[in-house]
Chains A and B, each alone.
Chain A
Amino acid sequence: MAENARNPIRKLWQIFSSVKTGVILLIVVVIVSAGGTLILQRPITEPEEMQRAYSPQVLRVLDAVKLTDVYHAWWFVLLLVLVSLSIVAASVERFPNSWRYFSRPYKSPTESFRKALATRKQIPIEDEETAVLAAARALRELGFKPELVTSDKHVSLFAERNRISEMAVYIVHASLLLIFLGGIVDALYGWRGYVALTPGQQSSLVGLRNGATRTLPFTIRCDSAGQENYSDGSPKRWWSQLTIVQNGSEVQRKEIVVNDPLVFQGVRFYQSSYGPTGKLDKLVLSATPASGQEPAKEVSLVLDQSVALDADMSVRLAEFIPDYVVRDNQIYTRSTSVENPAAHLVVASKKSGQSFNVWLPAIPGFAENDRSPYRFEAQDLKMGYFTGLEVSHEPGQWAVWTGVILMGLGLALVFYLVHVRFWVVPVLDARGRLALWVGGAANKNREIFDEKFTKLVEAIEKQIKSESAACVRVHETSVAG
């Protein structure tokens, strides 16, 4: 009864841990991922475009099954989890065997093993000991370190190389799981956002991808930012001079460019973009009194800032429109790019309480420039620029990069490191005469290994011949006297 209870579980386990299951799961992942590239995906595509591409019914179905956000759908995550589990199961199922193979080298081949091994050769010999020693020399010549194995009163040889190769496949799969783990950690605990700063501005708030706002435990301040262009006008370099302020003191400073972020406490700030805010930074005017008797003054104005012109008069920049247009007796803003700028100044007198609306340029119907006690001329216009920073926190990325390096190592071991084993055993051949049995095994690249084996056999035969020749010479000299 217990047997029957175990068998279905055992069967299920075997199916789940089989390579076939793994490959089928891979195929499903491939099909689903490909689908995600063919079907428009929601966060990236604008809603209007989605509605244009698919009819309402189709869109309803796609949304319901989450095919419009495949890679974050719960069933896709489940699929990836299943893939990971199948890798784990397959490794667990096969690891004990491989470990036994790896940790306990098979040094003394039995007769049945010797008969079954494909790559083998028997060399007739005269004397057991000298033959084995000759074989040892041949192996050493080929770069191996043979060890003497004593069993059943006989001495045999065992030499191997790159035993780690048997573990290589587990290294590859473990590294893959490590990469997945890093990805999961980042999906759960990582975040990405954006913050735009104008020079001098600081913030500890980041607008996240999903719409929420995150408060950082420190403040990032932009000291300055800029853009360098090539001679043809295309952007060459965006840079920002950033400072991190924590608990009132400046803890880090860096000038960042694209590809070179600032990293602080696991949060990374990337130079993402640079552009005009569409808002005025500074307007520099020369103010000349209407009487013309006093010299012109230079006045620098920011929006809504009042600057004194003399003891009585002050001027305030009430409005700045980068691109104005007059329609139906109203002044409108056409765009945020500086095409047709207009500035609305209010000149006020403290004493009389009067104020005058000065427009540069003098827009008819609105400007009271002629009545203003001061004339103004624009000297310089500075628009504001912002620097766009991508902010991200990816705690899992170290697992990912470690996994990648480990996988590179694992793949190199899997494909290029061959576990080679040689055995040399003195035996009695079919006719009862003394022979040296030489056998070899390799876990990949059979054809190249066959050549190596032939070389080894030739080397052993050569060593045995020179050994017996030496014996003969010794014998002769000893006989000769």
Chain B
Amino acid sequence: MASVRAEHQQPTGTGATLVVMVGLSVAFLLFMAFLNVVKSGNLLNESNLLYAALIFYCGAGALYLGFGVTGTESYVRFASLATWIGLLANTGAIVHRWYVAGHPPFASIYEMLLSFVWTLAVLTLIAEKRFGVKVIGTVTMPVAIVGVVLMQLLPSEVRPLVPALQSTWLHVHVTLAMLAYAACALSFALAMMFLIQDQVKTETFLAGTSFSVVVSYAAIVLTRFDRGGLSVVAWDPQQRGEVFVARGVRLFVVIPDLGWLLLLVLFAVAAPFALYLYGRWRNDDRVLVSANRAVFVSILLQILALAAFFVRARDGRYSSLDAEGLFPTSLAASPFILSGLVGAIFISLMYLMLLWRRQDLEKLLPDAPTLDRITYNTIAIAFPLLTLMIAAGAYWANRTWGSYWNWDPKETWAAITWLVYAGYLHMRITRGWRGRRAAYFAILGFAVVMFTFFGVTYLLPGLHAYA
């Protein structure tokens, strides 16, 4: 079966320029970092290695995006090289932290992000070399960059482990979870690429991406809008932790007016989706054109919302209903809101890239049946990992608390994720589902993974926090 090969393009004038520009920027940033570090002394410590990794991932991301937009093959080679070096630095950071802390990096959100970013870089290289999907870096590298940036905001001290976390089985469980979720994320990206190659209309992607962004903003607004302000968890800068009023009950402060801004942006991101629905109802293509313009406008507003959140969260002290006085907050106190805002911008940008460069993308990706098959292969890796992850978690719970299954929301949703992917495998193997139906099922599976990872921790307690 002959697959369409990308036409080999010689780097044009603009092509070489991008590589040179990225190379120079990377060198410059490294040099500045080096100067800074030489002053303080210790060169190869964890934060320096992490910073180096960030620089190289940024370079790789820029080159992957350049590849996605222009199709110049040489970008991929340099992007891979940058990813390799970034991965090396990242590995160094992990090793250093593991050595200093005495345990693998799984004990706090900072450490989880560190490991997650590392896994993303590894997966990017595997997808490129083994599966031949070169453009996956355009998706994974920006996520890695966001991850490293988020890490800079989080408290990074090595915390000693409380007794329950000192078990080897916990580390096994977390490693398996990360590998499993990464494989699911990869299957999601591949399923998306399949839909691109399968000639799914760009409007359908408009509907999907704008709907996801609406859900993200709606989740934030519905749970945190408070008489015009945004309710966030208070942060204690001395303790470098969240403020609690009682055991397990966090103290919430209200940032005034931010609620109105997010509500406004919610309408702005709902506009493309509403326009899409209207355009479908009226069968009018001009409406779809305005929908695409609305996406562009919504991105600008989303960036505004993110910037406002940044500024207000970092400076300022706010009042609370539950305690007297003014309390500061921090970006670290609201990881989910931050992830939601950044993720929404990312999704919208991805849609714009598809809209403007779809034909180039189609030439660069493997053909649809191959992508369909690779998606299945990736899930065939993810499913055993999910199984072992649940089993390791159950065994750890058994050794720590005397029971391997408690119908805890996190456990239950992990089981639901497992059942959904089992459903995918059954429909594919036994009922012969292929192509689009399989791709949609794979996307559903990943949506459930996202809910298990974010929703259970953020949304479920929030549903009943203020009864």
A20 to B426, CA, bound (A): 9
Chain B CB within 8 A of A38 CB: yes
Q: Which residues of B contact A259 (CB under 8 A)?
A: 163-164, 166-167, 169, 396, 399-400
Chain A CB within 8 A of B422 CB: yes
List the B residue with the shortest CB-CB distance to A190: B403
Do residues B400 and A49 form an inter-chain contact, with CB atoms below 8 A? no
Chain A CB within 8 A of B463 CB: yes
Do residues B163 and A237 form an inter-chain contact, with CB atoms below 8 A? yes
Q: Which residues of A contact B395 (CB under 8 A)?
A: 401
Say whether, besides A19-B431, A37-B413, A268-B402, A230 and B160 are in contact (CB < 8 Å): yes
Say whether, besides A259-B166, A411-B387, A37 and B400 are in contact (CB < 8 Å): no
A254 to B226, CA, bound (A): 54
Q: Which residues of B contact A41 (CB under 8 A)?
A: 407
Say whether, besides A232-B160, A259-B166, A270-B400, A52 and B467 are in contact (CB < 8 Å): yes
Q: Which residues of A contact B419 (CB under 8 A)?
A: 26, 29-30
Chain A interface residue number, banded: 35 or more
A192 to B431, CA, bound (A): 43
Q: Which residues of A contact B178 (CB under 8 A)?
A: none
Produce 1/0 per residue, B352-394, CB < 8 A to A. 0000000000000000000001000000110110011001001
Q: Could you list 27 examples of A-B contacts with CB < 8 Å? A: A19-B426, A23-B427, A26-B419, A29-B419, A33-B412, A34-B412, A34-B413, A37-B412, A37-B456, A183-B405, A192-B402, A236-B163, A237-B163, A238-B163, A258-B163, A258-B166, A259-B166, A259-B169, A270-B401, A272-B402, A390-B402, A392-B403, A394-B404, A404-B391, A408-B387, A415-B383, A415-B384
Q: How far is the CB of B444 from chain A (nearest CB, A)?
A: 11
Chain A CB within 8 A of B430 CB: yes
Q: Which residues of B contact A192 (CB under 8 A)?
A: 402-403
List the A residue with the shortest CB-CB distance to B410: A37
Produce 1/0 per residue, B166-178, CB < 8 A to A. 1101000000000
Chain B CB within 8 A of A447 CB: yes
Chain B CB within 8 A of A292 CB: no
List the A residue with the shortest CB-CB distance to B160: A230
A435 to B160, CA, bound (A): 74
A331 to B346, CA, bound (A): 65
Say whether, besides A26-B423, A33-B415, A259-B164, A412 and B400 are in contact (CB < 8 Å): no
> Given A19-B431, A20-B431, A404-B387, 7 other A-B contacts at CB below 8 A?
A29-B419, A33-B415, A34-B413, A259-B399, A392-B402, A392-B403, A394-B403
Chain A CB within 8 A of B447 CB: no
Chain A CB within 8 A of B112 CB: no
Q: How far is the CB of B163 from chain A (nearest CB, A)?
A: 4
Do residues A36 and B400 form an inter-chain contact, with CB atoms below 8 A? no
List the B residue with the shortest CB-CB distance to A272: B401
Do residues A258 and B400 form an inter-chain contact, with CB atoms below 8 A? yes
Chain A CB within 8 A of B398 CB: yes
Produce 1/0 per residue, B410-435, CB < 8 A to A. 00110110011011001100110000
Q: Which residues of B contact A268 (CB under 8 A)?
A: 402
A20 to B164, CA, bound (A): 42
Q: Which residues of B contact A238 (CB under 8 A)?
A: 163
Q: How far is the CB of A406 from chain B (nearest CB, A)?
A: 11
List the B residue with the shortest CB-CB distance to A447: B373
Determine which of A23, A52, A235 lies in contact with B162 in the assembled complex, contact meaning CB atoms within 8 Å.
A235
Do residues B460 and A37 form an inter-chain contact, with CB atoms below 8 A? yes
Chain B CB within 8 A of A305 CB: no
Q: Which residues of A contact B160 (CB under 8 A)?
A: 230, 232, 234, 236
A401 to B422, CA, bound (A): 20
List the B residue with the shortest CB-CB distance to A69: B407
Chain B CB within 8 A of A260 CB: yes
Chain B CB within 8 A of A346 CB: no
A34 to B380, CA, bound (A): 25
Chain B CB within 8 A of A261 CB: yes
Chain A CB within 8 A of B102 CB: no
A425 to B422, CA, bound (A): 40
Produce 1/0 per residue, B27-70, CB < 8 A to A. 00000000000000000000000000000000000000000000
A161 to B426, CA, bound (A): 25
Q: Which residues of B contact A270 (CB under 8 A)?
A: 399-402
List the B residue with the shortest CB-CB distance to A19: B430
Chain B CB within 8 A of A391 CB: yes
A402 to B284, CA, bound (A): 60
Produce 1/0 per residue, A358-395, CB < 8 A to B. 00000000000000000000000000000000111010
List the A residue with the shortest CB-CB distance to B430: A19
Chain A CB within 8 A of B282 CB: no
Do residues A408 and B415 form an inter-chain contact, with CB atoms below 8 A? no
Chain B CB within 8 A of A407 CB: yes
Chain A CB within 8 A of B5 CB: no
List the B residue with the shortest CB-CB distance to A269: B402
Q: How far is the CB of A182 from chain B (nearest CB, A)?
A: 9
Question: In chain A, residues 194-251, which have Cβ atoms closer than 8 Å to a Cβ of chain B?
Answer: 230, 232, 234-238
Do residues A408 and B384 form an inter-chain contact, with CB atoms below 8 A? yes
Chain A CB within 8 A of B247 CB: no
Determine which of A20, A38, A71 lies in contact with B407 in the assembled complex, contact meaning CB atoms within 8 Å.
A71
Q: How far is the CB of A259 from chain B (nearest CB, A)?
A: 4
A259 to B431, CA, bound (A): 44
Say whether, besides A23-B427, A26-B422, A261 and B387 are in contact (CB < 8 Å): no
A394 to B401, CA, bound (A): 12
Chain A CB within 8 A of B409 CB: yes
Please list the 6 inter-chain residue pairs (A to B) with the smallest Cβ-Cβ separation, ordered nearest first. A392-B402, A258-B163, A52-B467, A37-B409, A71-B407, A259-B167
Q: Which residues of B contact A415 (CB under 8 A)?
A: 380-381, 383-384
Q: Which residues of B contact A397 (CB under 8 A)?
A: 398, 404
Chain B CB within 8 A of A400 CB: yes
A53 to B460, CA, bound (A): 13
List the B residue with the shortest CB-CB distance to A187: B405
Chain B CB within 8 A of A77 CB: no
Q: Which residues of B contact A447 (CB under 8 A)?
A: 373
Chain A CB within 8 A of B8 CB: no
Chain A CB within 8 A of B201 CB: no
Do residues A390 and B464 form an inter-chain contact, with CB atoms below 8 A? no
Q: How far is the CB of A322 from chain B (nearest CB, A)?
A: 20
Q: How far is the CB of B194 from chain A (nearest CB, A)?
A: 16
List the B residue with the shortest CB-CB distance to A258: B163
Q: Which residues of B contact A407 (CB under 8 A)?
A: 387
Q: How far is the CB of B172 from chain A (nearest CB, A)?
A: 13
List the A residue with the shortest CB-CB distance to B467: A52
Determine which of A22, A34, A411 lies in contact with B426 in the assembled complex, contact meaning CB atoms within 8 Å.
A22
